[in-house]
Structure 1
């Protein structure tokens, strides 16, 4: 983070960047124009912080979902949250719901929560259980993906379609201090709660029956952790769009480094996720400058080969 905030198309030296930071912290004074100060303090720093928070949060949520559902292919979006957020975003951006008073992030958050609520109802109606939650998530994902496609194809012009597509692929371009504050508070609270239940997560990796034998209230604990994970994911998606592969690949990489115990796994996931997404965002905004690449595209390009490598390593050690 300390290095990536110095990267960008604007002609600012490392000394200029840190002069602004020290000035804002009350140490020294920056002799730069207001525009250059704004580039550092209002654009680069919030974006880098949001990248770190999103990476950490998505990686932690992925590890929790893989444990709760006992599915190595589970990720934070398996509950249909990203597709619901996409629908909420296009309803605001394309259909103009809210009359300009509702932001795209607010619409995305509302859509994510509605989608998660529907998935919970479907799973409860089907009798609960990890497998039913996954199936309900697939159904919710398909439903809201279809709604998003229908709205975009029937109502959006070319310019709006391009803007929505950029957001759907994941983008940190609109990062603000409000986004940083909200996501940091929600993710910090969610991480503490999930880490506090790390022994329950360890038990869930052996199945619901084993967890119940160890005295864990399976239904209540699973619901609590699912709700916390869904809220974290919904807030992150509303701020940055659907950034894929972070929550799928990094938990496996973290397990390879420190093993399956969640007391160590969750902090390592957070660190790996933060480091990865900070560097991915730096690549996304500089490699093809002045054209910016959606962050989700870069994570997919990196994540697919990394996931394939992990699969081959797992096969070779099996």
Structure 2
């Protein structure tokens, strides 16, 4: 059957939230868009739903569960560290970011941690933490019992609690720290970089074999500083912008006016404890389109 204007409007009213669910489930914006489009086609063919929000959430969640198994197999063959596809969030593309939990659930650090969960654990965690669904609602979405949902949620929390990203600094403080970090990197200011980096800082770079990037995480202040010194050698060709990416202040890097990296340092107080950079051009395509 053809979709009526009213049903189209009801779907569009849910599109941002559905994309937010799919992206958190998959860690890939392009895949999430495909899932939302598939959900729309099913919505177009369906009879009227009593609760379109619940119906669409169930469809999107189950489509993501179907894709996660094959996605995990692909990531086992990935060249170098795998990081989620970055998404600019200053325009509300991924739904509401009003609470710490909603913002945290989008961070590259958290999305990378969610890779450790089983698909059902990830679904329960995302629906509960990022979208505030009750255990009963999640049980209906997954077609399992409520006690089983509670068990999945408890297991998910146990898997990631010890390594959850730290959000001690406010967004404004992190932006100021980022500006200091950029200046120090451009100037090749070793003492300043050493003051900003935690001794056990870890840097991940996702080039996917398509852009220059370390094939393994770089661990330790001295090694990370040495890697950052290459920035000052290219300073005449580099341009940096600050933006909100995955709910966090981030550094958007242009080389010869071409988007070449998205870098998100993770802070604990005023120290950087982790740096995640995405340089794989395939993974920069979505955010490049957002900025056009």
Fold shared, TM-score > 0.5 on shorter chain: no
TM-score category, normalised to shorter length: under 0.3
What TM-score do the two structures reach when normalised by structure 2?
Answer: 0.27
Q: Name the structure where helix makes up a greater proportion of residues.
A: 1
Normalised by the size of structure 1, how large is the TM-score?
0.25
